[in-house]
């Protein structure tokens, strides 16, 4: 019998009642391994009502007690690391080391939330005016929601619900229906860590559920990570309904390679950043931009044998695989279509992974690594996010051309420069109009106490994920101006109050 995955509501797993389901595949075999329930509006309404009823008491719990839940949660994540990674790999296809990295980058945000008492401190001004004190109080919004993608089924849910819950909110998580098991496992661990029932609820679903969240009058804020078209849709609809919304979309991340760079280091960086997780990362480097023909020729010579030697295997084969399958058959075909389009547009396909087949896993969603050279700005493989194991090389004549290339692209998620020249690196970091910048770092994902967010069409909303911005997003500030009777003059005052 096929495994049935329902929802997590009011502290426990519950079966779906809508009658609608979606298949959950094993990407390595191509077989359906489970069915996940897709929530109806009534199921979502029930979860929100439970979250709304539970939230006031949780918000009234002092921040230090809330922080202790995250202290416990971090320990439980360490305890169950192997179990979580195996479940993640089985549904997503990632290698086990990559799956553990997924969990750990979420765990680091949970660690940051142990500092909730500090993050929830307001400000105080004694004697702001004659006999007047003034202070501010950050307070929770109420019920908030997160809509998270398939490619990081542990990390991004934790990026969303950890600071939201630490701030005193209750949370509705709508994870991807492609790999729904780990989010439910995380919710169970939060209950074990001491979180009251009803504060974290996982509602599986599809677009119908997403629209229900965006239109629900009792949900105050929504966070999203996914493709840019959907990010823009969620941002527009959520804002139209008066919600606070932050959405992070697609990317086309460039690596500028200066002539003085260590090309062995560059090749290593590009292999990991371009092909790790089969390229299914919003921070993947998908465009290498060597400056000068000599740099480009040397880079291609170093990259080609390394790309050809990449080991592709299912997660169950051990820890030495470089990457595994794509998440679905549709994702595999989409990436192949992009490679076809690149060839038709005139790019040079140096390494062709389209016909890769894994012995014993012929029905799995595997694809070999692809490497393009002589890519130009008008090609779809340059303009659009492929989200697969495809690296494009764009030859820039000068540093300024490479800089302009990244700056003029519609996406502004991440970018990197490799150089030994401090002046070039400093100029690049100062001028580039992209949210996350790496200097001799291929994937510049900030640590949990900084914030994560792209610019241009990679991000919608004015606050980023994790770090201090997360606590700002999930709270609103109340400012109190206080004066006691001994400082109050007799008589009415008709002019606007000032500090004179």
- With H, G, I as helix, E, B as strand and everything else as coil, classify residue 58: helix
Which of 439, 470, 490 is the last residue before a domain boundary? 439
Distance CA 155, CA 252 (A): 21
pLDDT of 493 reads 74
Phi, psi of 409 (to 5 degrees): -75, 150
Residue 495 lies in a domain: no
Digit-coded pLDDT (tens) for 72-127: 999 999 999 999 999 999 999 999 999 999 999 999 999 999 999 999 999 999 99
Q: Hunting for tokens 């001799």 — which residue is that?
A: 440
Residue 98 lies in a domain: yes
Half-sphere exposure of 490 (CA within 13 A, CB side): 0
Domain count of the fold of the chain = 2
- Position 497 pLDDT exceeds 90: no
Q: Hunting for tokens 């993947």 — which residue is that?
A: 284
Digit-coded pLDDT (tens) for 211-224: 999 999 999 999 99
Digit-coded pLDDT (tens) for 164-208: 999 999 999 999 999 999 999 999 999 999 999 999 999 999 999
- Position 319 pLDDT exceeds 80: no
State whether 165 and 92 are in the same domain: yes
Distance CA 467, CA 119 (A): 10
Residue 500 lies in a domain: no
Residue 467 lies in a domain: yes
Mean pLDDT of the chain: 96
Expressed as residue numbers, the domain containing 303 is 253-439
Distance CA 293, CA 305 (A): 19
- Position 320 pLDDT exceeds 90: no
Percent of the chain with pLDDT over 70: 99
State whether 243 and 272 are in the same domain: no
In the predicted model, what is the mean pLDDT of residues 383-395? 98
pLDDT of 62 reads 96
Digit-coded pLDDT (tens) for 243-288: 999 999 999 999 999 999 999 999 999 999 999 999 999 999 999 9
Digit-coded pLDDT (tens) for 441-481: 999 999 999 999 999 999 999 999 999 999 999 999 999 99
- With H, G, I as helix, E, B as strand and everything else as coil, classify residue 476: strand
pLDDT of 485 reads 78
- Whether residue 25 contacts residue 32, with contact meaning beta carbons closer than 8 Å, is answered with yes
In order of 158, 332, 387, the CA distances from 106 in angstroms are 5, 27, 21
State whether 108 and 58 are in the same domain: yes
- Using a 10 angstrom Cβ sphere, with 0-12 exposed, 13-18 middle and 19 or more buried, the burial of residue 123 is exposed
Residue 487 lies in a domain: no
Q: Which residues are catalytic?
A: 282
State whether 316 and 394 are in the same domain: yes
Count of beta carbons in the 10 Å neighbourhood of residue 86? 15
Distance CA 82, CA 299 (A): 37
- Cβ neighbors of 34 (< 8 A, separation 6 or more) are 2, 3, 4, 5, 23, 24, 91, 181
Residue 492 banded pLDDT, cuts 50, 70, 90: confident
State whether 430 and 469 are in the same domain: no
pLDDT of 488 reads 66
Instruction: Provide the whole-model pTM.
Output: 0.95
Within 29-131, strands assigned E span 31-37, 124-129
State whether 16 and 125 are in the same domain: yes
State whether 181 and 264 are in the same domain: no
- Whether residue 413 contacts residue 437, with contact meaning beta carbons closer than 8 Å, is answered with no
State whether 244 and 292 are in the same domain: no
In the predicted model, what is the mean pLDDT of residues 1-22? 96
Q: Give the CATH number for residue 367.
A: 3.40.309.10
- Position 15 pLDDT exceeds 70: yes
Q: Give the CATH number for residue 189.
A: 3.40.605.10
Residue 187 lies in a domain: yes
- Position 346 pLDDT exceeds 90: yes
- With H, G, I as helix, E, B as strand and everything else as coil, classify residue 34: strand
Digit-coded pLDDT (tens) for 479-489: 999 998 776 67
State whether 339 and 359 are in the same domain: yes
State whether 179 and 258 are in the same domain: no
H or E element, residue 102 = helix 96-112
- Position 500 pLDDT exceeds 80: no
pLDDT of 295 reads 98
- Position 499 pLDDT exceeds 70: no
In the predicted model, what is the mean pLDDT of residues 379-392? 98
Structure-token pair, residue 371: 């490497």
Residue 82 lies in a domain: yes
Which residues, in sequence order, are bridge partners of residue 421? none
Digit-coded pLDDT (tens) for 123-174: 999 999 888 999 999 999 999 999 999 999 999 999 999 999 999 999 999 9
State whether 119 and 259 are in the same domain: no
State whether 329 and 355 are in the same domain: yes
Residue 58 lies in a domain: yes
pLDDT of 494 reads 76
């Amino acid at each position: 019998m096929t495994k049935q995955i329902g929802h997590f509501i009011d502290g426990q797993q519950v079966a779906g009642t809508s009658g609608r389901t979606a298949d959950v595949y094993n990407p390595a075999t191509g077989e359906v391994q489970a069915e996940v329930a897709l929530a109806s509006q009534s199921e979502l309404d029930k979860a929100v009502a439970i979250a709304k009823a539970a939230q006031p008491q949780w918000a009234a719990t002092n921040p230090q007690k809330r922080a202790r839940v995250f202290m416990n949660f971090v320990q439980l994540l360490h305890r169950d690391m192997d179990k979580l990674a195996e479940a993640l790999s089985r549904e997503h296809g990632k290698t086990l080391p990559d799956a553990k990295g997924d969990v750990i980058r979420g765990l680091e945000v949970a660690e940051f939330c142990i500092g909730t008492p500090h993050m929830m401190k307001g400000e105080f001004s004694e004697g702001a005016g004659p006999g007047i004190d003034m202070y501010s109080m950050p307070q929770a919004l109420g019920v908030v929601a997160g809509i998270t993608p398939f490619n990081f089924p542990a990390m991004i849910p934790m990026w969303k619900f950890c600071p939201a819950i630490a701030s005193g909110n209750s949370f509705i998580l709508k994870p991807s229906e492609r790999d729904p098991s780990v989010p439910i496992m995380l919710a169970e661990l939060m209950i074990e860590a001491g979180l009251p029932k009803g504060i974290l609820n996982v509602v599986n679903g599809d677009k119908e559920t997403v629209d229900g969240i965006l239109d629900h009058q009792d949900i105050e804020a929504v966070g999203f990570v996914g493709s840019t078209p959907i990010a823009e849709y969620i941002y527009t609809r959520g804002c139209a309904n008066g919600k606070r919304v932050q959405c992070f979309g697609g990317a086309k991340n460039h690596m500028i390679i200066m002539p003085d760079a260590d090309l062995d280091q560059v090749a290593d960086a590009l292999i990991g950043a371009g092909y790790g997780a089969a390229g299914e990362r919003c921070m993947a480097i998908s465009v290498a931009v060597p400056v000068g023909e000599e740099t480009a020729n040397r880079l291609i010579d170093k990259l080609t044998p390394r790309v050809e030697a990449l080991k592709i295997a299912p997660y169950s084969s051990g820890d030495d695989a470089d990457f595994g399958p794509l998440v679905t058959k549709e994702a595999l075909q989409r990436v192949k279509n992009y490679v076809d389009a690149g060839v038709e547009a005139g790019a040079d396909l140096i390494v062709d992974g389209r016909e890769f087949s894994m012995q014993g896993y012929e029905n799995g969603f595997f694809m070999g690594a692809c490497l393009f050279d002589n890519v130009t700005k008008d090609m779809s493989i340059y303009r659009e996010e492929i989200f697969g194991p495809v690296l494009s090389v764009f030859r820039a004549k000068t540093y300024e051309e490479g800089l302009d290339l990244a700056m003029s692209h519609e996406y502004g998620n991440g970018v990197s420069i490799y150089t030994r020249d401090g002046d070039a690196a400093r100029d690049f970091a100062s001028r580039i109009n992209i949210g996350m910048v790496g200097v001799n770092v291929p994937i510049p994902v900030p640590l949990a106490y900084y914030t994560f967010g792209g610019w241009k069409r990679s991000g919608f909303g004015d606050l980023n994920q994790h770090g201090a911005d997360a606590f700002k997003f999930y709270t609103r500030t109340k400012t109190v101006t206080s004066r006691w009777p001994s400082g109050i003059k007799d008589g009415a005052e008709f002019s606007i109050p000032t500090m004179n």
